[in-house]
Structure 1
Amino acid sequence: MILRLSALAVLLYALGFAFFSVSLPDPAPRGKTDAIVVLTGGKGRLERGMAVLADGQARRMLVAGADPSVTRADLARRLGKGSGKLLRCCVDLGSESVDTRSNAEEARRWMTKRGYSSLRLVTSDWHMHRAAYEFRQDLPEARIVIDAVQTRPSLFILFAEYNKYLLRRAALWLDL
């Protein structure tokens, strides 16, 4: 009996991992939100957020989890010509958060302060399941548009992220 239950648990885990791996989200279609929240830490995230902002699909952007030493001038150098004006007028650098969970908390405080009720969440496709889960927990009333940056994650990255996702769901379920 224990062997069968163990085999069932392993099978469910493996099927869950397979579903997680093949259901990575895509970039969002064009559409307006009050804000964009870009989570730092992955290639193409900031560029995607800036492109959406430049296209007028949101009023303002928060770069959540930015290193405190990073300035708008640093970002302008990284993003290239034409980004400076947009960075000065419409981008906030949030340096209060250190992980996905605190990114959601930082974004909630920022959105509440500004009176926003909708956001476009920009992060890597492999990170989006957990990020969206955290944001939905912290901002249950907000309309959240998922805007994933396409990547080619390794099996190791997918495996690690799936386990983090499961652990976080279990922690909330157990009220830890």
Structure 2
Amino acid sequence: MMKRIASFTLLAWILGFAWFALLLPQPAPTQTTDAVVVLTGGANRIDHGLTVLEAGQAKQMLISGVDRDVRPGELAAQYPGYSRQFKCCVELGFRAVDTRSNALETARWVSKHQVKSLRLITHDWHMRRARLELDQAIPDNIRIVNDAVMTRPSLAILFKEYNKYWLRALAALIGL
């Protein structure tokens, strides 16, 4: 009996990993939201958020998880075509150090700015766990649009992220 349970569990884990790795979240279709949150930690995320702002698909943007040593002017200088967006519409969040604290930082910002709809920008392989954390932190009445930045993740990245996702899902299930 124990062998069957272990075999079934292993099979479910393998099939889940196949789903996770082969059906990565996609970029969002063109649509408008009140705001954008970009989770730091990977290439092209901030660029994509700035493109969304410039296209008028959102009015404001939070970049969550910015290193405390980064100065707003220095960051803005790395994106020379977007100085107007940085002046009017971009706020830097310095409190987050991981995905869970990104969600908490975003929840505080959403509440402060009375956001009713939010576009979440992160890498495709990170989207599911980021969304899980955001769903835990933000009220249900806030509409969240997933907008994945496409990547070519290695098998090692997918393996690690899949396991992190399920560990966080189990922790959330028991209230941690």
TM-score of the pair, normalised by structure 2: 0.96
1:150 to partner: Cα distance = 0.2
Q: Distance in 2 between matches of 1:147 and 1:175?
A: 27
Matched-pair contact (CA < 8 Å) for 1:33–1:119 = yes
The one-character-per-residue Cα deviations of 1:119-175 (angstroms, maximum 9, x if unpaired) are 000000000010011111211221000000000000000000000000000011122
Q: Distance in 2 between matches of 1:41 and 1:166?
A: 20
Q: Is the 8 A contact 1:52 1:58 kept in 2?
A: yes
Q: Which amino acid aligns with 1:7?
A: S
Gaps of 5+ in 1: none
Map of 1:26 onto structure 2:
26
Contact in 2 for aligned 1:72/1:88 (Cα 8 Å): no
CA distance in 2, matches of 1:175, 1:122: 26
Alignment of structure 1 residues 11-160 onto 2, 5 Å: 11-80=11-80, 82-139=81-138, 140-160=140-160
- 2:88 & 2:146 partners in 1: Cα distance? 24
**Cα shift at 1:73:** 1.9
Shift of 1:77: 2.4
Kindly report structure 1 stretches of 4+ aligned residues shifted beyond 3 Å.
none
Q: May I ask how many residue pairs the two structures share in their alignment?
A: 175
Aligned-pair distance for 1:76? 2.3
1:154-173 aligned within 5 A = 154-173=154-173
What do the CA deviations read for 1:75-121 (whole angstroms, capped 9, x no partner)? Answer: 222222x2112101100000011111111111111111111111000
1:112 maps to a residue whose letter is S
User: CA separation in 2, counterparts of 1:86 and 1:5?
Assistant: 55
Q: RMSD across aligned C-alpha pairs, in angstroms?
A: 0.9
| Matched-pair contact (CA < 8 Å) for 1:45–1:122 | yes
For structure 2, the 5+ residue unaligned runs are: none
Does structure 2 conserve the Cα–Cα contact (< 8 Å) formed by 1:76 and 1:84? yes
Retained in 2: the 8 A contact 1:72–1:84? no
Question: What is the distance in 1 between the residues matched to 2:110 and 2:116?
Answer: 7
Identity of aligned residues (%): 51
Residues 39 and 123, structure 1, Cα contact 8 Å, conserved in 2: yes
